[in-house]
């Protein structure tokens, strides 16, 4: 899952970014409204966390512009304002939820998960390809009933491959969704992590699920 955080307070941004990365989310961070709006327009995000008080362009304006441009990613607004009028303004601008500062990270995480589930509550959280299963709620991975232990980045990469099972995903697609906007897709890091996954997911099994299409990208198929 790829999340955009638009927050100008560095300590808060760092706190949120670190916590969400530990939960296996890919995070892009913008420190002002203009950059945040730009990133939201050019990248497909699963969720946007948006502070209201921002330099350059405030969160209410950004939210309205995003909705006017038909960008439907769930938006969680953050603000120090706790008056009912301010909350109503935020929700009326197109936000899906509202969290008042200061907040506990556990509450933020619970709201993030709820918004991501709400995107399409008809979908099962279990991704399956052949005998490989990934639970997006518990982050448990099993193949043929055997549990597989992955690092946070390995998990994010496998989740992305499984979401796009039977489809070719390019290195650029992986770098944008599993790493972040600053990642250099020309390094061999993606190849290294693909090999890590192969050793944990395919090694010891007759049927290989992760395939490389030379010069194109990767595909996971049963």
Residues 6 or more apart in contact with residue 126 via CB below 8 angstroms: 133, 134, 135, 136
In whole angstroms, give the CA distance from residue 129 to residue 142. Answer: 11
For residue 176 the two structure tokens come to 């944008």
Per-residue confidence in pLDDT tens, the chain, 222 aa: 789 999 999 999 999 999 998 887 888 999 999 999 999 998 888 899 999 989 888 899 999 999 999 998 999 999 887 677 777 877 888 999 999 888 999 999 999 999 988 765 546 678 999 999 999 878 899 999 999 999 988 998 999 999 889 989 988 888 877 876 566 656 789 999 999 999 999 999 999 999 999 888 999 998
pLDDT score, position 89: 79
Q: What is the pTM of this model?
A: 0.65
In whole angstroms, give the CA distance from residue 36 to residue 29. Answer: 8
pLDDT score, position 120: 58
Q: Which domains does the chain have, with CATH numbers?
A: 2-118 (3.40.50.2300), 126-220 (1.10.10.10)
pLDDT score, position 150: 94
The pairing of beta strand 47-51 with beta strand 2-6: parallel
Q: What are phi and psi of 183, to 5 degrees?
A: -70, 140
Residues 6 or more apart in contact with residue 127 via CB below 8 angstroms: 133, 134, 135, 136, 159, 162, 163, 165
Q: What are phi and psi of 31, to 5 degrees?
A: -95, 0
Please give the sequence-ordered ranges of beta strands (E in DSSP) within 39-197, or none if there are none. Answer: 47-51, 75-79, 97-100, 126-129, 132-135, 141-143, 146-148
pLDDT score, position 186: 65
């Amino acid at each position: 899952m790829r999340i955009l955080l638009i927050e100008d307070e560095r300590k808060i941004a760092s706190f949120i970014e670190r916590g969400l990365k530990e939960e296996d989310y890919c995070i892009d961070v913008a420190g002002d409204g203009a950059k945040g709006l730009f990133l939201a327009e050019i990248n497909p995000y699963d969720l946007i966390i948006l502070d209201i008080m921002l330099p350059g362009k405030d969160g209410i304006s950004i939210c309205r512009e995003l909705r006017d441009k038909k960008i439907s990613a769930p938006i969680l607004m953050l603000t120090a304002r706790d008056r009912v009028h301010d909350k109503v303004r935020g929700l009326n601008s197109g936000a899906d939820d509202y969290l008042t500062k200061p907040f506990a990270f556990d509450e933020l995480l619970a709201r993030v998960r709820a918004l991501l589930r709400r995107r399409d509550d008809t979908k099962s959280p279990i991704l399956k390809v052949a005998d490989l299963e990934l639970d997006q709620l518990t982050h448990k991975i099993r193949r043929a009933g055997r549990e597989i232990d992955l690092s946070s980045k390995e998990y994010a990469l496998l989740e992305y491959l499984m979401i796009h099972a039977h489809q070719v995903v390019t290195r650029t697609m992986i770098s944008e969704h599993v790493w972040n906007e600053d990642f250099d897709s020309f390094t061999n890091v993606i190849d290294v992590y693909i090999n890590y996954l192969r050793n944990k997911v395919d090694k010891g099994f007759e049927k290989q699920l992760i395939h490389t299409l030379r010069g194109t990208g990767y595909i996971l198929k049963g």
